[in-house]
Amino acid sequence: EAGVAQSPRYKIIEKRQSVAFWCNPISGHATLYWYQQILGQGPKLLIQFQNNGVVDDSQLPKDRFSAERLKGVDSTLKIQPAKLEDSAVYLCASSLTKSANYGYTFGSGTRLTVV
């Protein structure tokens, strides 16, 4: 089966600019996650979707970050305006159900550098 697809792979922007990342999960996976991984850290959850509804966005900095999954398949994550501390790898993951017990399948990530 095809894996989780993410684009772009790399992005360099200046601070205060906006940027968007795209994710296409594994076909049939109802649950989609966006994680932020800062260099030297483990992934940290930003938002969890179940189909096209938000389940958990408690750690999403909502003043600058937004995410949507309009048709319950693809998702986009946007940052506007970007700050230097947003430099990180943004990982998308998906799972068949909301249960975390069987793990998630991750995409290769988008590496964002804010200068």
Nearest approach in angstroms of CB 48 to another protein is 5
Identified binder of another protein from the candidate list 19, 26, 36, 43, rule CB under 8 A: 43
**Nearest approach, Cβ of 35 to another protein (angstroms)?**
8
Task: Give the residue with the Cβ less far from another protein, 15 or 54.
Answer: 54
Q: What Å distances lie between residue 28 and 31, 40, 72, 96, CA to CA?
A: 9, 32, 10, 7
Residues 13-32 that bind another protein (CB under 8 A): none
Q: Which is nearer to another protein, 69 or 109 (CB)?
A: 109
**Does residue 56 bind another protein (CB under 8 A)?**
yes
Q: How far apart are CA 76 and CA 85, in angstroms?
A: 20
Residues 85-104 that bind another protein (CB under 8 A): 91, 93, 99-104
C-alpha–C-alpha distance, residues 64 and 94, integer Å: 23
User: Rounded to an integer, what distance in angstroms lies between the CA atom of residue 55 and that of residue 30?
Assistant: 12
Interface with another protein (CB under 8 A): 4, 33, 40-45, 48, 56, 59, 91, 93, 99-109, 111
